[in-house]
Amino acid sequence: QEHKTTGNHISLVEGTHSLEVKGDLAEKVSGALGIKVDGDIVLESSSRISLKVGGSFVVVHSGGVDIVGPKINLNGGGSPGTPINTLQPAVMDALADEQYDRGNAGGGNDGEPSDEDESEGGEEDKDDSDELVIPVYAKSCLKEKGCTDAGTTMEPSKHFGDMALFAQPVEDDCCGYGTHYHDDEVEQLAQSAKKTSGANSLTGEMTVASAGVAVPLAAEQSAGVLTRVWGTLGAWGGEGFLSVSKTVPALGVLVSALYPIPAGEGSDKVPGRDEQWLENELRRKAQSGETAATRARFLFQRNTAGELRTYGYHTPAGSELEGVRVALMEWNKEFSRYEFSPVSDSGPKIFWTPAKPEGSEQPIHTGTPVEPVDLPDIYVNPIPDEKTDITTPPSPMPEERNFNDWILVFPDGAELTPIYVYLKTARDEAGTVTGKGEVLAGTGRWLSQAGKSLGVPIPQQVANKLRSKSFNNFDEFRAAFWTAVGECPELLSQFNKANQTLIKRGRAPYTISRQRVGGRGTFEIHHIDEIQYGGEVYDIDNLRVNTPKNHIRLHK
């Protein structure tokens, strides 16, 4: 066996088999990993999978499929393919220039350029249309066409598309027999909307904004129809209405300006050339549990004075904040509506109901339209660089866990473009811990049964540390919960060193690999009585610790 290291390029060779590690993988686990068998097939995996034969490449990545070769045939089946011009995406330049690829393919003279390399001229003659565009859901209109970089200055949300805020309508709860989630701040916002007559409406059309109080007579009691209290969604959706679990007092919606055409059109576009995610790709991401990049995200957040406000943030490429969960709005024939039901309690049920569903005679009860509140615009702020001095932002800098947002994509043929939604939920509300916890029986490991039944209860000694303490939101409680676990030696000793470090930092420990699902690899806290159905958020006795796999099963 031969081992060779040149800089951070590692090569392992045994017989006709070789393993090569390039990029920064020698220093950290990222970069690219190449495995070559007999010099004929190369499989590379990082953000893409590549197949290479001689000078031809097929690359599958999150943005689509790239094909490079001296001759490419498209075959519809049953006949020789039709030759087309070679595609030369910039993402393949590094592969084409690698000396080890050229040498093993037999097409180079120790890395010297061949006649073919210079036949198309230099960099100056390169066609800009061949440059790969990084697709995003939304970007600022200040960025030129083909550029999907994040902004660096404060901008209004309208630079990214149409936005509206919705709130649950204020209702008489019939002396408690029709109770739903109550939120004073949202109620004040909704009441001010009702009292505002003549506020400047941003649209005169009958759209989701003005039809937002229509109520289907067959609607589930657990879902509340939302009233628009600010902004507009333009012509998106036509006559229809949005509804969501009653535990969601407020919801924001952005319709990206990158999606001006109805769903289903533009299917002949080439992946990697468009600025926006193609809708088929979003559907694939929804089914596989992947995230999709966007250049702005929004959340309901309290400012430094403790007041609830809506904030937007630029999300640069490569940052932990650029990826947003994607969900498919599926058609429910029984209720004649599109709906999204998450597999865990990380999100609520969201519904979109056309005012006149095709093939349905379902009656619709329409309430009085509500004019929007005349509020200032919502702004998108840059995330400060720790190395630079910058004015203190009006609210704490967000982390990924602070966002509760989704990109919702509709089925092919629905003629509804994808929307971005962000939510204020009961989980975001302050609360005080109650409950006693349970005395652990036996001598086994505490979390050994977290992958079964309802999961495992909260130990009494942990409950004693948290009871009567108040938290601003459930994320804050979750961090305190794991910190409290770390303060119990008899519990902490049950974890390996790496997990002990996480727990002491207020982070959830990792489960065994077979209990992980997709990007969810750490233990999760499950509410027995779900929040969306009125379950207590901070009641220790309503909580169980679960593995991701079991948690997903519980919510199916």
Residues 396, 535 share a domain: no
474: domain CATH number is 3.90.540.10
> Same domain, yes or no, for 251 and 388?
yes
pLDDT over 70 percentage in the chain: 55
> Three-state SS for 360?
coil
Same domain, 57 and 173: no
Do 340 and 408 belong together in one domain? yes
Question: Has residue 138 been placed in a domain?
Answer: no
Segments forming the whole domain that contains residue 178: 155-428
Q: pLDDT tens for residues 36-46?
A: 555 555 555 55
Could you tell me the CA-to-CA distances from 448 to 443, 501, 506 in Å, in that order?
Answer: 11, 19, 20
Whether residue 188 lies inside any domain: the answer is yes
- Residue 310 CB neighbours (<10 A): 19
Q: What is the pLDDT of residues 347-361, one digit of tens each?
A: 567 888 887 655 544
Asked if the structure places residue 55 within a domain, the reply is yes
Domain boundary among 428, 446, 463: 428
To 5 degrees, how large is the angle CA 492–CA 494–CA 500? 45
Give the pLDDT confidence of 5-15 residue by residue, as tens digits: 545 455 555 55
- Look at residue 9 and tell me if it is in a domain: yes
Do 281 and 162 belong to one domain? yes
Tens of pLDDT, residues 171-206:
443 332 233 444 454 444 444 434 433 332 222 222
Are residues 321 and 440 both part of a single domain? Answer: no
- What is the number of structural domains in the chain? 3
Cα separation, 48 vs 29, whole angstroms: 16
* 69-81 pLDDT per residue, tens: 655 666 444 444 4
Instruction: Tell me which of 413, 428, 443 is where a domain ends.
Output: 428
pLDDT at 383: 78
Query: Is there a domain that residue 117 lies in?
Result: yes
Q: Quote the DSSP letter at residue 98.
A: -
| DSSP summary character for residue 295 | S
Predicted TM-score (pTM) of this structure: 0.54
517 and 532 part of one domain: yes
Q: Mean pLDDT across the stretch 244-255? A: 82
Based on the fold, state whether residues 406 and 455 are members of the same structural domain.
no
- Burial profile 397-430: b = 16 or more Cβ within 10 angstroms, e = fewer: ebeeebbbbbbbbbeeebebbbbbbbbbbbbbbe
Residues 401 and 454 in one domain: no
> Do 439 and 406 fall into the same domain?
no
Cβ contact 369:277 at 8 Å: no
Judge if 511 and 389 occupy the same domain.
no
* 401 and 441, same domain (yes or no): no
Does some domain include residue 477? yes
